[in-house]
Amino acid sequence: MRALLSVYDKDGIVDLARGLHELGWDLVSSGGTARALADAGLPVVSVEEVTGSPEMLGHRVVTLHPKIHGGILADRDVPEHRADLERHGIEPIDLVVVNLYPFASDPSVELIDIGGPTMVRAAAKNHAHVGVVVDPADYQVVLQELRRDGSLSAATRRRLATKAFERTSAYDAAIVEWLAGAAGGRGAQDAAEPRDAAGAATTAGAVPAAGAVPAAGAAADDLLPPRIDVALERVGDELRYGENPHQRAARYRVAGTHGWWDDVVQHAGMALSYLNLYDADAAWTMVHDLATWSGGPAAVIVKHANPCGVALADDLATAYQRAYECDERSAFGGIVALSEPVDAATAQRMVAAAQADVVIAPGYADGVVDALRARRKNTRVLQAPPPQPERRHLRQIGGGFLVQDAHRFDAGRDQWRVVTKAVPTEAQWRDAELAWRVCGHVKSNAIVLVRGLQAVGIGAGQQNRVEAGEIAAKKAAGRAAGGACASDAFYPFPDGVEAAADAGVAVVVQPGGSVRDDAVIAAADERGIAMVFTGERHFLH
């Protein structure tokens, strides 16, 4: 029996090769894999010895040869195939162990693997006779079966072939995405750049930020091409449960990529559920948005994907306390997201407040995790890196997906327009900006009331804007006086502005654009409040 081993990730490959050798298998290998096996004292035949041809074109051509692919693809049940093998002096290959260049981690032309996927697909096609292993996690499983049974079962070969085609499909999808520029990479332009001996680009170039609008001349299909290939791979075990305990759930990521959730560390608490991840994702994205915008500490409390507490302050403990005070009842069982490492003062405030299902922060001071664990045994305490912005947003519907730009704020304060006689003070401007920023993270219809950089009332997810405003005002309970009101879409009638004025706000910020804007502006002037048009709607469903 003969195995071909050619891997980029050499984790565990020596142990696998040693196990195969002990079972009497011959080992064929190339490049760095061959050197690793030889250095471990294992007898290995190089691919060059098999093919009679040297590596060429800077390692672009190594295994692309009939003596390799004939050995992999030959159907041993077909007499003509066996005759071809004998005629051309080709020995069959019974096991192919390959993992691919890590294209997704650092996309470039030189990391587009050719020989690896070709061998993988060949072995997977011929899985009736050949085993193919693309995942180091399968090394010991394969060895155990070979030791026990002397060969791989048809079911195992089929399972391994399925995984192999999944891997090459995801690999190709990542290349397509990159070449189209849809992942924020430089795509096909990269191929034209001068390269050094290692294949790295030798000219610097700016990579557009995620969420950036394509520049003039960019391909029209950059964001919405005729075809989008999405391959997902499961990460870890099943979650505790889905939206409800009778639903199963798991986390998946785009195959071959590494997202920020992959680096989250859980320090304490119960296993995570579907909604824990969904809500924590919303909270973590929002707190980073606010901290980046404000430049200071931010605290967010999310319940059912909507914020129920938001505040900015000079220190984290105060920001948390003020976020919690926005809506103490809703904060129970919520997700607390903090923009800075949690210090002892913040932890003290948290253990004195309502139970949180999840706390997510960039870090924890010494002793803080133990304090949280002692007082809040069920709270999941997560440490996370910054979230990664997405450029494209997909949402599943029956039989397909809706695709759009990822949410972003385009129109800043310098593009806003005061449309009333009254003009906001600087403090009111800051409250209006925060209210508007929060509004973009609240399910529509949304009304947000802010006073002193603290959200004091949030009305979310209502079928009409008036009731969203009533809910926000009721929660504010008079605390919005002199502050700001933000509406995620225009006010179609004056009644919404009148309700905001009744709540005591000094400024209303909204997109504008209603056919009744004049009546709405007149209502604001009549009540003596300022109104600002942003020219940008922020529905969130």
Q: Which residues are catalytic?
A: 125, 304
Q: Return the axis-axis angle of helices 344-352 and 368-375, rounded to nearest 10°.
A: 10
Taking the CA atoms of 251, 256, 261 and 264 in sequence, report the sign of the dihedral they define: positive
Token pair of 485 as six digits: 């009101």
Token pair of 342 as six digits: 């949690």
Residues 135 and 162: their CA atoms lie apart, in Å, by 12
Helix (H) or strand (E) holding 481, with range, is none
From first CA to last CA, the distance across the chain in angstroms is: 58
Residues 90 and 73: their CA atoms lie apart, in Å, by 11
Q: What is the dihedral of CA 427, 433, 438, 440, to 10 degrees?
A: 170
Token pair of 525 as six digits: 């002037």
Sorted by sequence, the CB contacts under 8 Å of residue 251 that are 6+ apart come out as 234, 235, 236, 239, 261, 277
What is the number of residues in the chain?
541
Strands, E assignment, 100-188: 131-133
Locus of tokens 């004091």: 456
Residue 151: closest CA among 125, 181, 128, 134? 128
Please list, residue by residue across 323-357, b when 16 or more beta carbons sit within 10 angstroms of its beta carbon and e when fewer do: bbbbbeebbeebbbbbbbebbebbbebbeebbebb
Strands, E assignment, 110-149: 131-133
Q: List beta partners, residue 306.
A: 303
Token pair of 488 as six digits: 């995620």
**In angstroms, what CA-CA distances link 471 with 282, 296, 462, 523?**
22, 29, 9, 21
Residues 264 and 269: their CA atoms lie apart, in Å, by 14
Token pair of 446 as six digits: 């949304």
Locus of tokens 């200071």: 296
Contact between 29 and 14 under an 8 Å Cβ cutoff? The reply is no
